[in-house]
Every structure is written in C-alpha cells, then in structure tokens.
Amino acid sequence: MYQIVQKEQFSENVVKLVVHAPRIARSRKPGHFIILRIDEKGERIPLTIAEANIEAGTITLVVQNVGVSSKRLCAMNVGDQILDLVGPLGKATHISEVGTVLACGGGVGIAPLLPIVEGFKKAGNRVVTVLAARTKELIILEKEIRQWSDEVIIMTDDGSYGIKGLVTQGAEEIIKREKVDECVTIGPAVMMKFVALLTQKYEIPTQASLNAIMVDGTGMCGACRASVGGQTKFTCIDGPEFNAHQIDFDELILRLGGYKAEEKQAWERANS
Amino acid sequence: MKEYLKIERDQEWRDQLRKKIKNKERTTQERVSMTSLDPMERIKYQDREVNLGLNMEQAQREASRCMDCVNPTCIEGCPVSINIPKFIKNIERGEVLEAAKTLKETSALPAVCGRVCPQEKQCEAQCFYTLKLKKEPVAIGYLERFAADFEQQSGAVSVPETAPKNQVKVAAIGSGPASLSFAGDMIKLGYDVTVFEALHEVGGVLKYGIPEFRLPNHVVDVELESLAKMGVKFERNFIVGRTASFDDLKAEGYQAFFVASGAGLPRFMNIPGENYNGILSSNEYLTRVNLMNAAKADFDTPVLKGQNVAVIGGGNTAMDSVRTAKRLGAERAMIIYRRSREEMPARVEEVLHAEEEGIEFLNLNNPVEYFSDENGRVSKMRVQRMELGEPDASGRRRPVVVEGSEYDIPVDVVVVAIGVSPNPLVPSELPELKVSRWGTIEVDPETMQSSMPELFAGGDIVRGGATVILAMGDGRKAAAGMHKYLSQKKETAAN
C-alpha cells in the first residue's frame, strides 16, 4: 500500500499527489514513470514522476481528471492508500550539456517536464521553457519550473495569462531569437506533433515523451507500441522518449483513441 | 536416485499391492477419460473450468493400470522427476494424501502441472504402455491433478519439512513457475527466500496468461499459500534492477539471485497495418482478461470485444486467446496458422477442446496485411495460403507460399500469438551479464549459473518461450546449483 501524504488542488480538474514510495524516490531519474492501481477492481494507469524527495521517501504525481480512474484518483485524500504502485519505469531522459535547451510543456505535460528541466539546468545548460495551456488555471508548477529555467514564456489559448497563442508560437520566437541546441517536449500528442514539425524545419534535435495506452508497463504486452523511424517500439521499455522527428504522431493519436467506446461506457457506468 | 527408487519400491505395501492384481489384468483395462463441461454451455463462461477431474473410483481404477515398473521410465520423462509410481500406488491403495505428499517432494505446483503439462510429450510418452505395449499410457497427469485437488479440498494441506534456517538470504526474480519451483527447493534447504514480482499479483503466466477455464486462480493460490507457509516471502510491485538495484539488494544481505523473469516480450510480424486499433498481442489480450478481470463489468480495465476475431499462431497461447474470444461473444473465432494441424505446438487436448467449442481452424494460412476503417480500427486482413515443403532445421516441414492465393477475411479483433522474446528489463541492468544474440541469459546447463557467479537463471529467460514444467525443472536445477555454490563459498570463507 502506498499512502498519499500530501495533496494540492491545482485547478478544478488537476491535482498534485505526494505519495510515500521510498524505494522509487531513491531510484527514479528524470523521464521515469510509475504504474499504479487504485484498488482491487482498478485498472493499471501510467503516471510520470514529477518530483521526488529521497529524505521524505516520497514521489510527486500530477493527475488530470479525464476518465474513470483519474477521477477516482483526484478524489483521494491525504491518508488514503493506493493499492499498487510500481516503478521507476521507462528509460531515463538523456541529459547532457548541449548549450541551450528549449523545453515545451503543455497542460499536465508540464509535470513530467519539470524533472527534465531541472536535469538540463543542473547539467549546465541554458534552459528556456515554454509552458502552454488552454487557460490560466491549467498552467501548473510555474514556480518550480522557474526555479530551473533561465527564462519562462507562458502561452494560453484564451490569453487569460501570458501571451495569447499556441506553444509553437512561443517556441518559434525563441528559435528565431537565439541558437537552440536541443528541444524537449511533453504534452498532448497533437501539441508534440506540431512542436516536432516546427523544430524539424529548423533542424533542432528534439525529444518527445509519448503518452501511449499501457497495461503492464514492463514490455510484456505491446499495448503502448508506436512507430518510430518506421520500426515498432514499445513506449514503456524503449521510451517513453523518442526522437520526435521520427515518431508517427498520426498513428499515435489514432491509437490513443483505441478504447474510446469502452472508456465512454465505463464513464457512464461510473456516473450513473 | 535409482537406489532410492528401489528402496521405496521394495517397501512391503508396494510389494503387496503389486501381487494383488496380475499385470495381465492391469493392462487389459481401458484408460479413464475425464468428464468435461458441455461445450455449448462452457463457452458462456470465462471462468468455468472445462475439465472436471476424476472421482475417487475413476482414479483408483486408473491407478491400478500402472504396473509399478522395476525401471520406471516415466520418471525420466518428467522434468522435475516426480516419483510417479509411488504417488500412483498410493492412490491405488486409497492413501491419496500420501500421494499428494509424494508429489510435493519434488514439485512445487502439482495441481498446476496436472492441468497444464503436455504429458503426451513428457511422462506419458515414456510410460511402459506407450513404449512397449503400444497402448494408451497411464493417465499420469489426470492422477497428479486428482491427488493435488483431493489434498486442496480436504483442507489438510501438508507443508513439506524444511531444514533449520541458515540465515542466508537469496532472491528469486519473477514469480512464475521457474521461481516458485526454485523457492520451494531453497526454502526446504533452509535459505531465507524472497520472491520479487513486477506485477501486482504473484504467479507469472499462471495468473496473467493461462485462463481460468484451464487453470483456476484458486488452484494456484493454494500452492502459493503453501510456499508462504514454508516461509517464502513475496514482494510484489518490485522490479529488481529498477525499484532497487542489484547492488542495493546485495547491501541488504542477498547473497545470490535466481533470474526467472520470463520471455514476456511479445513478437509481432511487422507487416503493414499491424498497429491499427483492434490488433493486439496475446499477452495484452490475456492479461486484460485474466489478470485485470476485464470481462467482468465491475472491473475498470476494458477489453475489445469482436464479432470476427482472428488469432494468429498455433501454440497454447493461441488456443487460450481464441477460446477467450469465443467466451467474450465472438461469432467467428478463428485460428490462423501457417502450418498444418500436425505441426501445431499446442497441447492435443486444448486443440480438441477448441474444436468442440466451435473454433474455426484456418491452417496453412498466413497474414500479409491489415486494413482499417475510417477510425483506424482493423476491418479486414489479407492472408495467403501456404503449403508444406521440405523439413527445416527444427524438423518441421517448412511452410511455402502458394503464389497468387491471397484473399481477404473480415475481422474486427486480431490477436497475435506467434511467440515471445526474452524480456530485456533485467539483463539491461546488468551490462556484464553474458546474453545470447537472442537476448537469453547464458547459463551452465547443469547448474544454471550465469557468467556472474552469484547470478543463476532459468525458465523462459534462458530458453525463450517454453513450457511451465521445463521452467520448473530449471528452478530445481538452479536451486541445487546455487546451494552448492553458496556451500562452497561458505567453506572457503571458513578456511
């Protein structure tokens, strides 16, 4: 059992949960994720580790209410127990000193971006971060991101905070202004697709962290497979980060909808 | 070993039992057949066991067919060397609990093996009836299952004796059949054994892979409880190499490791359209249904239900998948296999059960491409016909494409069950470990010791995809090998 020791409501549908998992806190690196199961009847869902505190033995997860399991998770409180939690999973982000790094995060993708931004900063890079969301209240972890960024640009679809516009607009301005040596992007698949198209135009090496459907998260089933450079890769063990210019994003987007009907049924059942 | 078997055979009760019925009489009896649920009834349930087991009268009659050979060749066919005549003769004289105890002397999971072993290729293939009399072999598997079930139902489950605790900590990685067999032997030798499992449930393929209709979970759970009673510890949600490193565990006092992380990595064919929605590995399909209970409405994990389901492959996993599809309501559940019936690696009994349940067999067919509807969901598959050519290296006749024979089949779910590769998760954390080009861990075949002295390995991570019982045999060998290694190490340290 894994106890929730802290909870923070970021916005109506986004919460931060700090969970006691000392072994994982010690072993995790930027880019790693966990799989959890709330209770006996629950499904296994992947979540990226946003932060870890070795002394306290905790890891931080950020959850957006988008379906049956995330809704239940968002409703959990301090003191509640998560039945199963395993990790750290996936390959850690490849972090090195490259010069200037452009980090692009969208929505709850900002949470997994945080440890990566921290990693690149600590490795001696200049880090410029572009955070994007639909509206002001969906921009999360801004203070933490600022701590590890030389500059932060905020974009909102509705202009309620920062600059009105998409992540790619903010990113392109940076690219035009200064030399960018590497780009990392995490967010909705559509967003990452357009970031990838942008950086491809400017020939900037780019890593994207994929958010595929997963079951076991250990390479056992292939639910999370994606086409990268024409080859089938398993996101959970070969990724979750891949060369963004080689990812078949259209296929990824189709595959993310693979259980739409079943998810809708489950949602209706849970809310009836 | 031979000496030991002879002493046991010479016991008075065995001698008397042999004299009671003449061998000629024994050999004229018909082999028992096991009753099973009616096919049309059983396909309505995901979780009803098909085979119903023997009753006492059937079991004793079948046991009396065994002639208690001087040289019991059947034992040589068993990868964990169960003392087969001893347990069978105990059934014949009505001492079924004694029979169960005999099984546990060498096997950690008799109720499992009695159900899932391909006995026709193992013990029963080496039975005197098969070898010399050209008759149906003694139903060793049925009898093993009978004795193990009898014990489970009696509530008087015996816990094998264990040696005094030696305070030496060892770890088993993975909790499938190889590990459980290893853990059972090591705990008997007095070691402090912890089994580490990545998933949230212990049992490996016995839980996520083999369906309830073939191997009920409660049967596995009783065997697991028995190991726990002997002192085996289980750590779930724990990936050795990730959750904690090998060095972390060494620092915590673990002196040796047995890696049995299996061959969980599913293979795909890499043909066009294979990543469309509705096309999934048998591992994913079976895990959703067996481990996550996706077929039950009150569980959160979904599973895709199809009207026209094609399963690619001819092994046990393919049979389990296609029969699962039928139970999930498929109108048409098909096996697509590129060779003929004769080359199918699946157990004969499971193929028969599948046929009874109305599964279609499209043998000598091979998929070449998938097509989708406008939402990216698979809608049809193109297959080509095959014919059998010359035998290949494995001795099976090689399938050859019949040119121009392509045709399309409408499908809405496709399950790919063409085999698995070794899971790279554990080896990838150990750069100094010697692995083959296929990713299997290289070991000494006698001791199961790897290129790292404190690390032993067995089961599918060494063999690629194989059977439950071969994995268990490896677990036994590794336990013996590790015991020898640790004893010698201790001796060297003392001198």
Put simply, whether A68 touches B (Cβ < 8 Å) is yes
Q: Are B176 and B204 in contact (CB under 8 A)?
A: yes
Put simply, whether B272 touches A (Cβ < 8 Å) is no
Tokens of A143: 């203070």
Q: Of A86, A93, A88, A89, nearest to A31 (Cα)?
A: A93
A221 is in an annotated binding site: yes
CA B318 to chain CA mean position, Å = 14
Q: Work out the average pLDDT over A184-203.
A: 96
- Give strand pairing partners of B412: none
Q: With 80 as the cut, is the pLDDT of residue B394 above it?
A: no
- Give strand pairing partners of B281: B416
B348: how many CB neighbours lie within 10 A of its CB? Answer: 12
Ramachandran bin of B173, using left for φ above 0, alpha for ψ from -120 to 50, beta for the remaining angles: beta
How high is the mean pLDDT of chain B? 94
Q: Work out the average pLDDT over B371-395.
A: 92
The 10s digit of each residue's pLDDT in B155-202 is 888 888 899 999 999 999 999 999 999 999 999 999 999 999 999 999
Q: Are B455 and B444 in contact (CB under 8 A)?
A: no
Q: With 90 as the cut, is the pLDDT of residue A268 above it?
A: no
Q: State residue A264's pLDDT score.
A: 86
Put simply, whether A54 touches B (Cβ < 8 Å) is no
Q: What percent of chain A has pLDDT over 70?
A: 100
Domain boundary assignment for chain A: 2-89, 100-257
Question: In angstroms, what separates the C-alpha of A25 from chain B's closest C-alpha?
Answer: 9
Q: Work out the average pLDDT over A179-204.
A: 96
Nearest CA in chain A to B293: A41
Q: Work out the average pLDDT over B455-469.
A: 90
The span from the CA of A99 to the CA of A191, in Å, is 24
Q: Mind listing the domains of chain B with CATH numbers? A: 1-154 (1.10.1060.10), 169-264+422-494 (3.50.50.60), 266-419 (3.50.50.60)
Question: Rg of the Cα trace of chain B?
Answer: 24
ipTM of predicted assembly, 2 dp: 0.94
Q: State residue B431's pLDDT score.
A: 87
Helix (H, G, I), strand (E, B) or coil at B481: helix
The span from the CA of B352 to the CA of A201, in Å, is 59
Domain A100-257: give its CATH code.
Answer: 3.40.50.80
Q: What is the 3-state secondary structure (H, E, C) of chain A?
A: CEEEEEEEEEECCEEEEEEECHHHHHHCCCCCEEEEECCCCCCCEEEECCEEECCCCEEEEEEECCCHHHHHHHCCCCCCEECEEEEEECCCCCCCCCCEEEEEEEHHHHHHHHHHHHHHHHCCCEEEEEEEECCHHHCCCHHHHHHCCCEEEEEECCCCCCEECCHHHHHHHHHHHCCCCEEEEECCHHHHHHHHHHHHHCCCCEEEECCCCCCCCCCCCCCCEEEECCEEEEHHHHCCEEEHHHECHHHHHHHHCCCHHHHHHHHHHHCC
SS3 content of chain B, % helix, strand, coil (to 5): 40, 20, 40
Most confident of A252-266, B8-22, B107-121: B8-22
Put simply, whether A41 touches B (Cβ < 8 Å) is yes
Put simply, whether B292 touches A (Cβ < 8 Å) is yes
Q: What percent of chain A has pLDDT over 90?
A: 92
**DSSP character string of B153-216:** HHS-------PPP---EEEEES-SHHHHHHHHHHHHTT-EEEEE-SSSSSSTHHHHTS-TTTS-
Choose between B126 and B397: higher pLDDT. B126
E strand or H helix that includes residue B223? helix B217-230
Enumerate residues 6+ apart whose C-beta is below 8 A from B360: B332, B333, B334, B335
Task: Collect all residues of chain A within an 8 Å Cβ-Cβ radius of residue B301.
Answer: 43-44, 215
Put simply, whether A57 touches B (Cβ < 8 Å) is no
- Give strand pairing partners of B416: B281, B312
The 10s digit of each residue's pLDDT in B283-342 is 999 999 999 999 998 899 999 999 999 999 999 999 999 999 999 999 999 999 999 998
Nearest CA in chain B to A44: B301
Tokens of B348: 């004969």
CA distances from A234 to A228, A237, B20, B419, B423 (A): 10, 6, 63, 16, 12
- How much is the pTM? 0.94
The 10s digit of each residue's pLDDT in B63-109 is 999 999 999 999 999 988 999 999 999 999 999 999 999 999 888 88
Q: Work out the average pLDDT over A44-54.
A: 95
Put simply, whether B57 touches A (Cβ < 8 Å) is no
Q: State residue A272's pLDDT score.
A: 74
Question: In angstroms, what separates the C-alpha of A250 from chain B's closest C-alpha?
Answer: 10
Lowest-confidence pick of A78-92, A112-126, B381-395? B381-395
Ramachandran bin of B203, using left for φ above 0, alpha for ψ from -120 to 50, beta for the remaining angles: left
Task: Collect all residues of chain A within an 8 Å Cβ-Cβ radius of residue B303.
Answer: 262
The 10s digit of each residue's pLDDT in B2-54 is 889 999 999 999 999 999 999 999 999 999 999 999 999 999 998 899 999 99
Nearest CA in chain B to A23: B243
Q: In the sheet that A241-243 helps form, which strands lie side by side, from edge to edge? A: A163-164, A151-156, A126-133, A100-106, A182-186, A206-209, A241-243
Task: Collect all residues of chain B within an 8 Å Cβ-Cβ radius of residue A218.
Answer: 198-199, 239, 264, 423, 425
Q: State residue B397's pLDDT score.
A: 85
Task: Collect all residues of chain A within an 8 Å Cβ-Cβ radius of residue B283.
Answer: 220-222
Rounded to the nearest 10 degrees, the angle between the axes of helix B140-154 and helix B84-92 is 60
Residues belonging to chain B: 495
pLDDT tier for residue A270 given thresholds of 50, 70 and 90 = confident
Put simply, whether A237 touches B (Cβ < 8 Å) is yes
Q: Are B480 and B188 in contact (CB under 8 A)?
A: no
Q: Of A173, A174, A182, nearest to A208 (Cα)?
A: A182
The structure tokens 């998929």 sit at B367
The structure tokens 């100094």 sit at B432
Enumerate residues 6+ apart whose C-beta is below 8 A from B196: B171, B172, B173, B174, B175, B235, B238, B239, B240
Enumerate residues 6+ apart whose C-beta is below 8 A from B198: A86, A216, A218, B174, B237, B238, B239, B261, B425
Q: Are B157 and B226 in contact (CB under 8 A)?
A: yes
CA distances from B62 to B86, B90, B160 (A): 14, 12, 27
CA distances from B10 to A29, B68, B291 (A): 63, 11, 47
Q: State residue B3's pLDDT score.
A: 87
| Contact map slice: A 239-258 vs B, CB within 8 A | 251, 254-255, 257-258
Q: What angle do CA B140, B141, B144 make, to 5 degrees?
A: 85
Choose between B398 and B124: higher pLDDT. B124
A183 is in an annotated binding site: no
Ramachandran bin of B239, using left for φ above 0, alpha for ψ from -120 to 50, beta for the remaining angles: beta
User: Which superfamily does CATH assign the domain made up of A2-89 to?
Assistant: Translation factors (2.40.30.10)
**DSSP character string of B336-384:** EESS-GGG--S-HHHHHHHHHTT-EEEESEEEEEEEE-TTSBEEEEEEE
The span from the CA of B263 to the CA of B422, in Å, is 4
Q: With 90 as the cut, is the pLDDT of residue B134 above it?
A: yes
The 10s digit of each residue's pLDDT in B407-442 is 999 999 999 999 998 888 888 888 899 999 988 999
Q: Are A73 and A16 in contact (CB under 8 A)?
A: no
E strand or H helix that includes residue B388? strand B378-391
How high is the mean pLDDT of chain A? 94
DSSP 8-state assignment for residue B239: -
Choose between B36 and A271: higher pLDDT. B36
Query: Taking the CA of residue B430 as centre, how many other CA atoms within 13 Å lie in the half-sphere pointing to its CB?
Result: 24
